[in-house]
Structure 1
Amino acid sequence: MHLRRRFTLRSTVPRSAVLTATAIATVIGAMTWSPPAMAATYTTLPAHVYAPYYETYLAPNTASLTATAQASGAKYFTLAFLQATTRGSCSLDWNSNSAQPLNYYNSDIASLRALGGDVIPSFGGYSADHGGTEIADSCTDVNQLAADYESVITTLGVTRLDMDVESASLNNTAGIDRRNRAIALTEAWAAANAIPLQIQYTLPVEQYGLDPNGESVLQNAVADGAAVTSVDIMVFDYYIAGEGTVNMGQAAVNAATNTHTQLAGIYPALTSAQIWGMEAMTMLPGIDDYPKKTEVSSLADAQTMLTFAQANGLDLLSMWAIQRDNGGCPGSRDQNTCSGIAQNAWDFSHLFEPFTH
């Protein structure tokens, strides 16, 4: 199951050296792969974008990206998830499924772009991070890992990659270091080819901000010379016990504010406004995974998040996930295809869509 629980963050409840330019050039020169042909153009995302996650593992029993965009009004999507074909592999498929190779969505993405939209491919997710098929955990060759990232960029024609790091991947220090070293190589390659690459990290959060292992992911990125454009915090599945119903809107604001303080320590050269501009939030519409059903994000909570994001100039808003944005399963928690609360189809998306500009 592709749940975003923070299993590694608590023991009692279920939750989930800078590379010099010379060094990078030396490594790139030693690489032996030949990346695919470049896409004709590479277009960056809007400065502020609503890009909900799209659960690719529901295919073929879900609407296409283009049909979803036409129905919902959302034009940008974060595609979940690219994973190693098997544990120990350096090859990628969508959801470790050989029936969904890397180019599986190319035609759909082209149609989406014709509507003015685009996608952000996401690596990892709970199942891969927990099971060892997150590509940086699985592939121990940094050069090959960089080649994988480059292949995704050239095959899909994208300019942003999302690294969803949770569960066991948060504590896999070797995987964390490989990922960031490969990102640094990929960024050098992209710069050499005039590709405006952006890297996004999606990490679990609490109201007090990132846990130490989440901070370590970003600290290692700095040490390895991997530039990070966006830090996306998952503002749900807190597993807050003994406090009754949680105000999820205020909890998200608390989490984002405390994460801002942490990022200021990790990136001391940035201004406060620049740090806000690299923050992002992903919420879950309706009832999240906590069994007591006390963590429920309503449209009012979403409005609180939107107002905060607009006021502070956040980079991205997202939800887990677009297929859940409907009221088709009243009272159910953490379902792949509905929110569990009373709502009209696409209510959350319609609220967030104006954030894109």
Structure 2
Amino acid sequence: MRLRRTIQAALTACATLAASAGLVAAGTGSAQAATPLPSRVFAPYFESWTGQSPATLAAQSGAKYLTMAFLQASAKGSCTPYWNGDTTKPVSSSTFGADIATIRANGGDVIPSFGGYTADHNGTEIADSCTDVNQIAAAYESLVTTYDISRIDLDIEDNSLTNAAGIDRRNKAIKLVQDWAAANGRSVQFSYTLPTTTSGLADNGLAVLRNAIGNNARVDVVNMMTFDYYDGATHDMAADTQTSAQSLYNQLASLYPGKSPAQLWGSVGITEMVGVDDYGAAETFTVANAATVYNWAVSKGINTLSFWALQRDNGGCPGTAGNDSCSGIAQNTWDFTHVFAPFTGGTPATNDFSVAVNPNSGTVAAGSSASASIATAVTSGSAQSVSLSVSGAPAGVTATVTPGSVTAGNSATLNVTTTAAAAAGTYPLTVKASAPSGTHTATYTLTVTGTTPPPPGGLANGGLETGSLAPWTCQSGGAVVTAPVHSGSYALQAAPTESQTGECTQTVTLKPNTSYTLSGWVQGNYAYLGVSGGANASTWTSSTGWTKLSVPFTTGANGTVTVYLHGWYGQGNVYGDDFAIG
């Protein structure tokens, strides 16, 4: 928001350079998880650099919830946020802590906001300033634990809208914080406050949201600044608010096709600038406009109603545009607040999630394997830690889920292996997903058919050209890949970790007491090719390119051997292709 840039810049320039306690002293880690905000909340911006008490103004005005503006780095390149970039105002209980406690005691709360026009223009918005995603996330987490807040607002405008690296870092940090919150039983929302046109967000604002989707970062509220259109027109500010918001709704419906109309409207926020904004009298938001917007906001079920700024909600300077301390129109003190304050209501969104298996069925021959993706998604509230398990596997069938726990919004893999003794039939496997909010299930229908006779030479799918693993089975991470390949379209990937070699195997039955040679093309560090069981032989190589390995062996009395490819602990993936026994 542009209005306060001159005053804030002056305060920042005059800030004491001696570093105060900062993040290290701020986060206690022992505070209780915050109470989520109501599903509808009125939270006007509070100009935190004025020296006024937010608790006092909240009590005087009747605005129980406040959006606290702004947090930013003291200098470009720093990873430590301060209120207004002033190093004498760190994120700590000594700065606004008592005010926030009083606001909560009176039934309200605060939403700290990062950025703002000055920070976004000067490069001191935290994600523009700091190039370390982990430190950005740590700053957000420290803010959460220091003040026990449940929502962080990110005011992104001016140069921050074109800083692609900063946008990406910010969204990656949001994702880290959301995973941290889920693992620690906290509810943390993120809102993006963005400039708008009368036709919704411009493409640079949409790009911020597209990048968030690409980083799997959940954006709970998109808060439009319905002012400063800069188009030279005279505006009906209430009518343009509704037109802008309907356009935003349509944009969000395209970005988030899985959301219902109620969920889409429930993720919309509106911020007005009361009175005469800094563009001038052509953009004047009146008390009558406020009543119109209030009734519309209630009817649509939007999430957040706000305005810039609480200190402007008075008639102390009629005819003045863009003043930090008054609206520029004739009004009573707190007129706008009294219109909007009843908007706060409803209950906090209940945390919930969904689970699905894709594909939800598979057919395998006894002795073969299959896999499917398990997808989880946040359906309301915040992401939680979800424990995953599977049941219903019959004799001869093993079903597992990897990993066994994810943050809602992430995926896992259902792995199904069968032995030759598995009875033919159709079996429903139940995937169970459990979180603090409750349990959901999804079904995978497994069909087992009779065993497939081995091909000449005993080895099936040696070139992986079926595009699937079967009848190979692998430790976690093993897969069919399209690159690198030795020939054809597919190859086998074995995925060693610090705790496994990543072994992929296939059991074959050959003639008893007969000499054979296993061959295959391999690539990677410590790539092992061999047989075990009825015979034991192997060889290995380390190569950045494809290398052919040959393993002579002699079968035992039953002719059965297990062919394997694996790497070595912690040495990276290895690949194999064009396996044959001759």
Note whether the superposition's TM-score is higher than 0.5: yes
Q: After TM superposition, list the pairs within 5 Å mapping 1:116-195 onto structure 2.
A: 116-195=107-186
Superposition deviation, residue 240 in structure 1: 2.6
* Residue of structure 2 aligned with 1:93, choices 71, 76, 82: 82
Deviation at 1:38, TM superposition (A): 3.3
Deviation at 1:272, TM superposition (A): 1.5
The aligned runs of 1:314-329 (5 Å cut-off) are: 314-329=302-317
In 2: Cα distance, 1:186 partner to 1:127 partner: 25
Q: Which residue of 1 aligns with 2:66?
A: 77
CA change 1:336–1:135 in 2 (3 A) is same
1:43 paired residue among 21, 26, 35: 35
- Does the residue aligned with 2:96 lie in a helix, a strand or coil? helix
Report the structure number with the largest CA radius of gyration. Answer: 2
- Map 1:6-21 → 2, pairs under 5 A: none
Deviation at 1:4, TM superposition (A): 7.4
- Confirm or deny that 1:261 pairs with 2:250: yes
Aligned equivalents of 2:127, 2:3: Cα separation in 1: 20
Q: Is the contact made by 2:34 and 2:149 (CA closer than 8 Å) also made in structure 1? A: yes
Amino acid at match of 2:35: T
The amino acid that maps onto 2:42 is: Y
Counterpart of 1:9 in structure 2 is: none
2:97 is aligned to 106
Equivalent residue, structure 2, for 1:252: 241
Verify: 1:311 aligned to 2:302, yes or no.
no
User: 2 CA distance for matches of 1:92 and 1:196?
Assistant: 22
Structure 2 Cα separation of the partners of residues 297 and 69 of structure 1: 22
Residue-pair matches, total? 325
Residue 3 of structure 1 and its aligned partner are, at CA, apart by 2.6
Q: Deviations over 1:296-350 (max 9, x none)?
A: 0001111121111100100000000000000000100011110000000000000
Q: Distance in 2 between matches of 1:232 and 1:55?
A: 18
Q: Counterparts of 2:224 and 2:176 in 1: how far apart (Å)? A: 25
Question: How far has the Cα of 1:41 moved from its partner?
Answer: 3.7
Measure the CA separation in 1 of the matches of 2:303 and 2:166. 26
Which residue identity is paired with 1:67? T
Hey, what's the Cα distance between the residues in 1 that align with 2:314 and 2:328? 8
- Structure 1 distance, partners of 2:4, 2:54, is 22
By how many angstroms is 1:82 displaced? 0.5
Task: Give the Cα separation in 2 of the matches to 1:133 and 1:49.
Answer: 29
**Map of 1:27 onto structure 2:** none
How far apart, in 2, do the equivalents of 1:206 and 1:179 lie?
24
1:353 aligns with 2:341: yes
Q: Does the residue aligned with 2:290 lie in a helix, a strand or coil?
A: helix
Going by fraction, where is helix more abundant, 1 or 2?
1
Structure 1 or 2: more strand by fraction = 2
Q: Is the 8 Å Cα contact of residues 207 and 252 (structure 1) preserved in structure 2?
A: yes
What is the SS of the residue equivalent to 2:253? helix
**Maintained 8 Å contact 1:4/1:237:** no
Matched with 2:272 is 283
Quick one: distance in 2 between partners of 1:264 and 1:4? 33
| Aligned-partner SS, 1:102 | coil
Counterpart amino acid of residue 62 in structure 2: G
Q: Does 1:228 align with 2:216?
A: no
Contact 2:3 2:323 in 1 (8 A): no
Contact 1:50 1:356 (8 Å CA) reproduced: yes
SS of the residue aligned with 1:300?
Answer: helix
Distance of aligned partners of 1:109 and 1:35 in 2 relative to their CA distance in 1, 3 Å threshold = closer
Whether the 8 Å contact between 2:43 and 2:64 is mirrored in structure 1 is: yes
Alpha-carbon deviations, 1:269-320, whole Å to 9, x = none? 11122100000100011001114x2110001111121111100100000000
The amino acid of 2:67's aligned partner reads T
| Cα distance in 2 for residues equivalent to 1:182 and 1:195 | 16
Task: Work out whether residues 58 and 64 of structure 2, in 8 Å CA contact, stay in contact via their aligned partners in 1.
Answer: yes
* Structure 1 residue 78, shift from structure 2 partner: 0.3
Aligned partner of 1:297 among 263, 274, 285: 285
Task: Tell me whether 1:341 sits opposite 2:333 in the alignment.
Answer: no
Question: Which consecutive unaligned segments of at least 5 residues does structure 2 have?
Answer: 6-25, 346-582
Task: Supply the distance in 1 between the matched residues of 2:127 and 2:30 (Cα, whole angstroms).
Answer: 23
- Output one character per residue of 1:73-97: Cα deviation in whole Å (capped at 9) or x when no partner: 1110000000012110001100110
Give how far 1:2 is off.
5.0
Return the letter of the residue paired with 1:314. Answer: I
Normalising by structure 2, report the TM-score: 0.55
Alignment match, 1:26 = none
Q: Percent identity over the alignment? A: 51
How far the C-alpha of 1:147 sits from its partner, in A, is 0.5
Work out the CA distance in 2 between the residues paired with 1:265 and 1:240.
26
Match of 1:24 in 2: none
**Stretches (4+) displaced over 4 A:** none
Look up the SS of the partner of 1:240 in the other structure.
coil
Return the alpha-carbon distance in structure 1 between the equivalents of residues 240 and 35 of structure 2: 34
In structure 1, runs of 5+ residues without a counterpart are: 6-33
Bigger RCO (CA 8 Å, 6+ sep): 1
Q: What letter corresponds to residue 40 of structure 2 in structure 1?
A: H
TM-superposed deviation, 1:40: 2.1
Pairwise CA distance, 1:69: 1.4
RMSD value over aligned CA atoms? 1.7
